[in-house]
Structure 1
């Protein structure tokens, strides 16, 4: 095998490997018929490339009465295929082999029966060496009644390395041949030859006219540069010219690869037409940060992360009044039935009550909208099959996503009825100030009653509390206690709100982190796998083109 032929086979191997990848990636995206044909081509190519590269399979195909079998006998120099008036005369394919070494497995693959195999070199001493490596097949008539139930001709036309169409002057434009075969083999010029047989029945002028007409007809049907040979199997006219064409093909040892390349080219065009590459810029293996952040933001809104943070901050502010506020204000506030009324949060009120128990719930509709927005942004310009595939991947776990988000965030949502330890210390301090205030008021009352109004005399041990001179100092003490209590309440309130703000920021960051983790596992990763599949598919499609 020559270096050029080896390189050609390697190039074909790379294209077939790419086609194999398309078959793996295509289910659910590509027309099943195309995938089936691709799989069949892969099997056929694999089988043919494993078999003899030194033999070229040439199939003589034609309709009833074209003289195909007579031409087969004329080329082989033997009466191998039955001819006669009865039609069809060829019921099974016959094979004539020039050079038997290595041909057996190839003939087995072609399913040529043993009794229909003939060796040209062993039958005559003058075997033609220039045709060494040729396996010539005489196919059953493709338009016979038998052909309606026997697909042998169709099968061998599909697997032959070179197809020689034998046409007669009366039916060379026959619609069945052109519609079923010629148009399907457009693009196979390198491995297709057209023989206008029975040339002896026409005058030179008529023959030239028929050749020109056939040439125009073939070009209209997509055969860009048809090879047309005129022969007469009965007189031998043109047979040597046909042998020369066949000998050139056999000598190059490239027909098998060229046939597979032609089949692959045709299939590639159909794949490219069915699955056009829009060229839309799609990330190769990962979703960009902007889209990740956008999805996380949307899911945070769907699960109510901002509302949770705001609720925590507001509820902490209200609850702190019960512990660190001015006691007199707290006692007045206890007259109200529910401290949450002061928040004026409308519909959030019930949600905040739920949050007090540390639970979070995600809105399924909003979650679905966020996921759909991600997939829609990624699939702009894609083929519909891939758009649907990415949407399905994004929503593959959508049924469990809301509940998982809810469970995940409920683990970090704080219990808003908890009481920090420093609140309790402040409460003790405030009540101590209340006791001091009450003691001061009692002292003032005693001093007024006994020292100013002379209500009587106090026991010697308590006389100091009844002196009028103590009134200014006691009054100053009472005012100081009140001021200290008010200052403590204001300062504590500020510390509470500052701490609540910091806690809200910390909580929202943690919840966003968890939402991002869930989104990555349940939405991003399935979408990225589908995007990788999308890119691999079109990379393989470009590889098939060669």
Structure 2
């Protein structure tokens, strides 16, 4: 026994269907998903079984002469005939070539007592039927639910189905509604036997054949194969056996049946989930949208405002340390610039980050996430659009808190005093002290009687007095110059500190958004891409 050899393309299509079934829950209709799973199971089981045998099922309604036709084809009285089936009616099977057929018959669930072998078939010149497993199914319109269900099951499992129709009920609604309408694309594995032809005149038979062909084409069977037969007279039986033997000898009916089932399922899937615009949907979140999300979230947590406030407060606080003391002392008599700039409030707000009193604005965060999802899902099927939006919002309730907690770690330390501020303050106060000491020394020397010569004597010559004044003025200039230079350095440092702070805050916002928004969205986009790739693979 050998497995069915699949043509190129069938295995990838079954793999694609497996992927669709894997990704379909929550996206596809459950009934359609169940049918796909059933087809996968059925195809997998059939491909593992004998490729040397072709299962041909004779299906038909009560009174169609199906059992008589089964006996005529097999050449044996194997299946009981009559208007009524026995209560325990089961499918009968006639096998041409038993070797390797047992596992296949077990899979079909044919009882041992209803299996018959045509061991002498080769002696009668029927070698072309070697490998045929012919089934006589229970009537599909039986009032017995048991036999009706068995007929439906085996119609789905058979490699080729021969519909046995009688002249009076060939247009029976139950047959066409339940079965024929589902046969579009199955022409290669479906045959229609218009039985009991012996009851009709040649003109009536020709008219019925034409009418049946037209009826089948209207129901989607583009190229129906209709064979007039008569189990009583034997008319057309050889023609039907020729059609069956052709399918048996090619050993392709099982493959054709699976392919036809795949085509029908693919059409239904395409109607439910059209590929169309889905091909242009992104499979990942591109860099531009990542940056856009980061920008929006930075606005939501106020990163630019925090950076600007930090820069202003940093610069203003430095004046207490590095500004030339004399202007700073005079500034105490003027209105406080911090209050005029309302930077005290900003300072309190920045400090509030470390205490958790400042948090990301939930509404703005939600809008940013919504904008990302909207941009990614344009043109998507509503089911997938909803899935991507749900993924984007899956952790949105935790996002504001996560942003606030993460930014707490990089909140600016407003009370931090750089070491060079302290050194510069010592230097400036040294200059202040030197200037004050010099002024005091000259004042004493010039104003206290009798002290001038002694004071000037330290300089060596009274002519040096102007140079002393120049030195004192230089001290003032040096102090003022150092104050201006230090202020410039502070402003530059504040700008760099702001850039560093905003860069670090932005990096952390990007990391949080990547973990809590982008990754869930990309997982769903990956599913969407894989699903539609499988859809394309299914179409072959």
3-state SS of 1:195 partner: strand
2:493 paired residue among 493, 499, 520: 499
The corresponding residue for 2:280 is: 281
Is the CA contact 1:394–1:524 (under 8 Å) kept in the aligned structure 2? yes
User: Compared with structure 1, are the counterparts of its residues 360 and 510 closer, same or farther at alpha carbon in structure 2 (3 Å cutoff)?
Assistant: farther
Unaligned runs of 5+ in 1: 452-456
Deviation (angstroms), 1:446 = 3.9
2:99 paired residue among 85, 88, 101: 101
User: Compared with structure 1, are the counterparts of its residues 194 and 358 closer, same or farther at alpha carbon in structure 2 (3 Å cutoff)?
Assistant: closer
**Which whole-Å CA distance do the structure 1 matches of 2:344 and 2:264 have between them?**
67
Is the CA contact 2:227–2:236 (under 8 Å) kept in the aligned structure 1? yes
User: Compared with structure 1, are the counterparts of its residues 276 and 87 closer, same or farther at alpha carbon in structure 2 (3 Å cutoff)?
Assistant: same
1:66 paired residue among 59, 64, 67: 64
Q: CA RMSD in A?
A: 3.1
Is the CA contact 1:360–1:409 (under 8 Å) kept in the aligned structure 2? no
The corresponding residue for 1:543 is: 537
Deviation (angstroms), 1:268 = 0.7
Is the deviation greater in 143-152 or in 195-204?
Answer: 143-152
**Is 1:214 the counterpart of 2:212 in the alignment?**
yes
Is the deviation greater in 181-190 or in 438-447?
Answer: 438-447
**Is 1:421 the counterpart of 2:419 in the alignment?**
yes
Is the CA contact 2:62–2:83 (under 8 Å) kept in the aligned structure 1? no
**Which whole-Å CA distance do the structure 1 matches of 2:42 and 2:21 have between them?**
15
Provide, for residues 171-212 of structure 1, a one-character-per-residue CA deviation record: whole Å limited to 9, x for no partner: 111111100000012211111111111111111111111111
Is the CA contact 2:56–2:160 (under 8 Å) kept in the aligned structure 1? yes
Provide, for residues 46-103 of structure 1, a one-character-per-residue CA deviation record: whole Å limited to 9, x for no partner: 1111111111111111111111111111111111111123357882111111111111
Aligned residues: 537
Deviation (angstroms), 1:444 = 5.8
**Is 1:201 the counterpart of 2:199 in the alignment?**
yes
The corresponding residue for 2:15 is: 17
Provide, for residues 383-431 of structure 1, a one-character-per-residue CA deviation record: whole Å limited to 9, x for no partner: 1222222223333333333333333333233312100111112222232
**Which whole-Å CA distance do the structure 1 matches of 2:439 and 2:424 have between them?**
22
3-state SS of 1:121 partner: coil
User: Compared with structure 1, are the counterparts of its residues 346 and 153 closer, same or farther at alpha carbon in structure 2 (3 Å cutoff)?
Assistant: farther
The corresponding residue for 1:383 is: 381
**Which whole-Å CA distance do the structure 1 matches of 2:457 and 2:147 have between them?**
131
The corresponding residue for 1:234 is: 232
Provide, for residues 130-174 of structure 1, a one-character-per-residue CA deviation record: whole Å limited to 9, x for no partner: 211111111111111103775100000111111111111111111
1:130 paired residue among 125, 128, 138: 128
Is the CA contact 2:456–2:465 (under 8 Å) kept in the aligned structure 1? no
State TM-score, norm by structure 2: 0.90
**Which whole-Å CA distance do the structure 2 matches of 1:21 and 1:70 have between them?**
45
The corresponding residue for 1:454 is: none
3-state SS of 2:93 partner: strand
Is the CA contact 2:356–2:405 (under 8 Å) kept in the aligned structure 1? no
Deviation (angstroms), 1:332 = 4.9
**Which whole-Å CA distance do the structure 2 matches of 1:488 and 1:360 have between them?**
38
2:512 paired residue among 509, 518, 524: 518
Unaligned runs of 5+ in 2: none
